[in-house]
Amino acid sequence: MYLRTVFSWVLLLLVTLLSPSANASSKALYIVYMGEKKHDDPSMVTASHHDLLTSVFGSKDEALKSIVYSYKHGFSGFAAMLTDSQAETLIEFPEVISVEPNTYHQVHTTQSWDFLGLGYDNNQQQQTGLLKKANYGEDVIIGVVDTGIWPESPSFDDNGYGPIPARWKGTCQTGEAFSAKSCNRKIIGARWYGRGISTEALERDLMSPRDFNGHGTHVASTIAGCQVEGVGYGGGLATGVARGGAPRARLGIYKVCWVGVGCPDATVLAAIDDAIQDGVDVLSISLGGGAGHEYPGTLHAVLQGISVVFSGGNNGPVPQTVSNAVPWVTTVAASTIDRVFPTLISLGNKENLMGQSLYHDTSVTSYSFEDLIYARSCSAASLVSSNVTGKVVLCYAPAPPRLSLFTAINFTVAAGARGLIFAQHADNDLDTLDVCDGIMPCVLVDFEIAQRILSYWRLTGNPVVKVSPAMTVVGNKVLSPRVASFSSRGPSPLFPGTLKPDIAAPGVSILAAVRGSYMLLSGTSMACPHVSAVIGLLKSVHPDWSPAMLKSAIITTGRCTHEKIIFTPSKIMANLILVFWGYDNCCSISG
């Protein structure tokens, strides 16, 4: 989940859900699932949907008007505008398996590939290992169901690519700011799904496969981005060569998520249905709903030999919060990598402390001391009473209630603060740095550091603080991987006997392409494409392996990447860090 977009989407969803319906006869979008299709001809499948609806409406014209999507390639079903009573009537038909209201879900928001053992040597090649053996994912087709794509990014350059694989049956659907030339031999197809979305919501986005949000571009470039040299964040952080895990793979793009709305079930199922027909090898889906939600179309994709990889959600560390937890898909948690961004915090008494930040303003040649103020939890009331204008604010609430970092940033910006030092419990792993991006200088510290800053503030008449720019530290001195605190935990709420998530992959401060640049983002959304890419590589080496075999190869191979035993917050020894190569060796992914 792309963490910074979640708040606004959830708020809009709550407002929608809490609004009273006009009357009992008002129509809403329902998903009607009918299981395996009874005909190989898609037109006959759609005709059966029309016939079924005609028997309910009593009019063929009304039936045709009501249908929004007909799912006819990989499975049988449709999305239609129905009254509650019409939905209740449909569920009585023997060919109908389920009728559910359309719900809206959210997206689950470089060095990581070196950390996984899929790095290049000094000649930008891998002489041995899975990447080399898979020919860098040559001609594997990976479908990305997300917010779309920004095709001009250097990560999607098709220079040196051969013809599009003959088995590809997809299309390049044009639209606003997206012509047929936006697809190439890298982005071999793109579709967008706007039916069932309000006109107002569509106007806030781009009515085409173009990515207005940036999330889908980040995911796609993490999977299959080409090598791009000199990439970094903020002018000096995480610099190096950016690329995806399967840099020679082809991409099929399916835009199902919309700004301010999220990702409706109806559009996601339509994308899955089309992807089955288009001929993808892997489906990467970094989005999801509540802990008990599932997409029935994914089973049909797996039965067609397509591996489906889902993000597990960002509702941790509470148990049984994992989403997309059906047994036949691969569900991914988020973990840290061996890279951190330490920031020096200098107090007026010459004491130096360390936090973490993405603050790296290259336009500033020198950094000076600023007034320091303590504002408890940084609620709106405490900020006003503390007079924080033009000062660096310490947000530290040793006991509940506490605000989220996202809320604290909004309040401190509105109050006119100069910067923010935000205290999080140590168990949070300081793993949501990207929430601060581009808003104001902000540093994350644990409670111990915050207490030392608070003690200085209380004992000093005119407390001041200087926040230095962040640095990049990479290597085995960084204890990793650790499962990120935000990553949803198992077991599966739908199937308690099924252990989920299946595996964890890098999902904290991952650098990849967005609109016109590159950005560090965190979330299980960022972890999911790492596994999608590796499954693509394995598929290239073993084209005859089933989705279950590919999944098994990943989650049953491993080695420990750190000498120290890692414990959970309750001091129970954690599972050994699992890693995979899957064909005869292993590359580090935590499990």
Phi and psi at 55, nearest 5°, equal -65, -25
Q: Confirm if 400 and 379 have CB atoms less than 8 A apart.
A: no
Q: Are 578 and 561 within 8 A, CB to CB?
A: no
For 350-460, list the strands marked E by DSSP.
Answer: 352-356, 370-374, 392-395, 419-424, 442-446
The CA–CA distances, whole Å, from 286 to 289, 290, 371 equal 11, 14, 42
Separation CA 80–CA 54 (nearest Å)? 12
Q: Answer yes or no: are the C-beta atoms of 149 and 216 closer than 8 Å.
A: yes
**Tokens representing residue 2 in the block:** 């792309």
66, 379, 480, 525: which is the annotated catalytic residue?
A: 525
Tokens 């898609």, located at residue: 42
Q: For strands 77-82 and 67-71, give the pairing.
A: antiparallel
Q: What torsion do the CA atoms of 254, 158, 522, 15 make, to the nearest 10 degrees?
A: -30
CA angle, residues 591, 339, 535, in degrees to nearest 5: 40
The rounded radius of gyration (Å) of the Cα atoms in the chain is: 25
Q: How far apart are CA 176 and CA 208, in angstroms?
A: 5
Please give the Cα distance from 25 to 15 (Å, whole number). 21
DSSP characters over 387-455: T-TTSEEEE--SSS----HHHHHHHHHHTT-SEEEEEE-GGGTT--GGGGTTTS-EEEEEHHHHHHHHH
Which residues touch 270 (CB under 8 Å, ≥6 apart)? 69, 71, 79, 193, 256
What span, in angstroms and rounded, lies between the C-alpha atoms of 82 and 28?
A: 6
Q: How many angstroms separate the CA atoms of 102 and 488, rounded?
A: 23
- DSSP class of residue 425? -
Three-state DSSP state, 4? helix
Please say whether the beta carbons of 426 and 448 come within 8 A: yes
Active-site position among 48, 73, 76, 146: 146
DSSP structural state of residue 175: B
Any idea what the Cα angle at residue 509 is, between residues 566 and 480, rounded to 5°?
A: 20
Q: Is 139 noted as a catalytic residue in this protein?
A: no
d(CA 108, CA 22): 32
**Amino acid identity, residue 569?**
P
* Amino acid residing at 348: G
Residue 146 known to be catalytic: yes
CA–CA separation, 491 and 292 (whole Å): 11
Which helix (H) or strand (E) segment holds residue 367: the answer is none
**Active-site option among 49, 215, 218, 300:** 215
Active site (annotated) includes residue 215? yes
C-alpha pair distances (Å), 124 with each of 268, 529, 536 = 37, 21, 20
Catalytic positions, written as ranges: 146, 215, 525
